[in-house]
Structure 1
Amino acid sequence: MASHSQVLVEDKSTVRILTLNRPKQMNALCWNMITRLLQLFLAFEEDPRVKLVILKGQGKAFCAGGDVRPVIRDIVQGKWRLGAGFFSDQYTLNYVMATYSKIQISIMNGIVMGGGAGISIHGRFRIATEKTVFAMPETELGLFPDVGASYFLSRLPGFFGNKIHVFACRQNIEPISFSHPSCLLRLGEYVGLTGARLDGAEMLACGLATHFVPSTRLNALEADLCRLGSSDPVTFSSTILNAYTQLDVIDRCISRRTVEDIISTLEREAIQEPDEWILATIRALKKASPASLKITLRSVNKRRTVSGVGQCLIREYRMVCHVMKGELSKDLVEVLSAFLIVYLRSETWEPRRLEQVTDNMVDQYFKRMDEEEGWKDLKLPPRINLPSSIMSKL
């Protein structure tokens, strides 16, 4: 089967190594790959011989996201409910990984975007390298950061005052940690709204990655892991790296209540200090879909009123179904049809201006859809009797 060649499986004693194998497509997840991964993760969880699952990508990318071209074709043909099945299975996979009872390691060497974050950030251990490039670019495509992003983006420093971890670069040096002085940073909103790219150092600093390992040492690390024969956590060789350098500006600007206020604050900041990073952030926001920006800000903020990743995924599924249906805005269909199918880029948004996207319009994306023929709410598999220590957390 194609899905078997697209997800390679290596059996090494008590370790199973899964390799995403679509290097020409930067390991973008097609539906077959998603169902295959879900099947494998569930099977390994039930297999007492398996103690560790490693997930990595072939080529220059870990995973550049979901391959949604078939979904867009279905929407264009008036069959958006078929696309809902793709997202239902994808979110179920994300949930299983977030609640996995065995040790799971994602080696994020290369591009990690969109759906690629969904199969890595929810895992227990997340290894970044000097080649890692992370982003959630959905607002530029008329969508919103999904795959549980409202959960993990909302937990970035420092809404809960969580520590930023920095690890020693030489073996046998104990990791050290420190707390960033600000406890009200809005890094999650910044990453979600702007689609900003973070490198491996920045991922480690903000907690999206748990460890940093130079790419030249990944093979040796993998060999060491396979020799352990244990389910105990492994001590990784890592490196001391600077914390994200723009957190103070993000705190001042991205913590505003509305997207309009965020842009206005950034513009005032740029007048006082014409920094290229601030100007690039303004350009990114003005380039993105107005509807997507407002949905994203609400989504990340709203997560803070719910308890777990499962609720976030259920809500995001309802949101993505509203987006696919296209009654409120056709940004996703128009942009991805142009960009992914005929390779033209459109930047004509609907609505075109932020002030035209009302709170009432945004509210509609968060409501259950009518029980129309062929549509059902997301039903996540039962994951009971799991100790809290293995739940996905930053």
Structure 2
Amino acid sequence: MDDQRRLHFRFATRAVHAGERPNPRDFIPTATPIYPTSTFLYQNIEQMDAALGGAVGVFVYGRYGNPTTEALETAVASLEEQEAALAFASGMAALHATILSCVEAGDRIVASRDLYGQTITLLRTIFGSLGVRVEFVDILDLAQVEAALRRGGVRLLLCETISNPLLRVTDLPSLAEIAHRYGARLAVDNTFATPYLVRPGTLGADYVIHSATKYLSGHGDVTAGIVATTADRRWELNEINKTIGSILGPFEAFLVLRGLKTLPLRMHRQCENASRIACWLAEHPLIERVHYPGLPTHPSHETAARLLPPGLYGAIVSFEIRHGTRERVTAFLERLRLILPATTLGDVYSEILYPVMASHRGLSPEERQAMGISDGLVRLSVGIEDPEDIIADLEQALASLA
């Protein structure tokens, strides 16, 4: 309805409808518009019927799809070199839906023991209560992985490209071959690496999962998740999401899409900064151990050098404070002035986290110890600041422990 026809309506009606639903224009906006609408209208009921029936490229209801969100999905699918992608309200929602699409009661999941703490909780509590059996393995021990799959009934093998928080790098091509040989799908959380460093789908992974809250958006202003996969599997995931409703809103999709534009610039700088800081920490007398794949002493250095671009080993550095206790770590964190004590990573800001307090809080001390997470371990997400300023902040905070 054009505005001339709307003039025949009374004031209250015009206040509601005037200016809305303009006729299609023949220009193309430079940036993807935000479509903050819950529903979409069509010229006739037949078109609406086709849209409700799932016709490709059309929209009818916000829970089913949105043009702004679709633009983000197209971009991430392109970066991950996959057919399609589906966005979610968070990384955990993306992971939850992925697992739901693969398993049912009685099935088995083989998962890396080096997973984000909340992922372990999801597998144990939610899927454990649904009758799904989960076995945790050392994902770098391929013989152990294969033995677990050989026992049968495994529908999903789950791992992280670069583990949280010890930064162990997974041999993705070998895992994909083993998983497919035993009829399992491989799902890879690629949050730490991003498609700038590695694209798991090109190495055999069936699902590539991101907490887009982190590096993909990169500015600490949005919570989002996304899964890149085949077109058929994307359809399966969307059918699940239409029911459980873990959709990403158009404003959030726009923020992640905007962040993607600078991903290669940010990630390159952050990796370079992380390498510089890891080398500095490795020489510091108050640091017991540095976990960084770029260091020759790291157990995954050879795998990282094979899978990742030359000289780029990720932008996370984990390190253990000598004689580390909760009290000493707390004192160190409270002395920091530039680096932010935040329960996230991947932003332009440098951020630090204490796994015992945050990411792996839900695990028992014995479980953390078995994973190699000591009471003195902290995880540093390196930002794009000048590396000398980051080092100076670490140095003055560590000096308080001497």
TM-score w.r.t. the length of structure 1 is: 0.29
Higher Rg of the two aligned structures: 2
Structure with the higher helix share, 1 or 2: 1
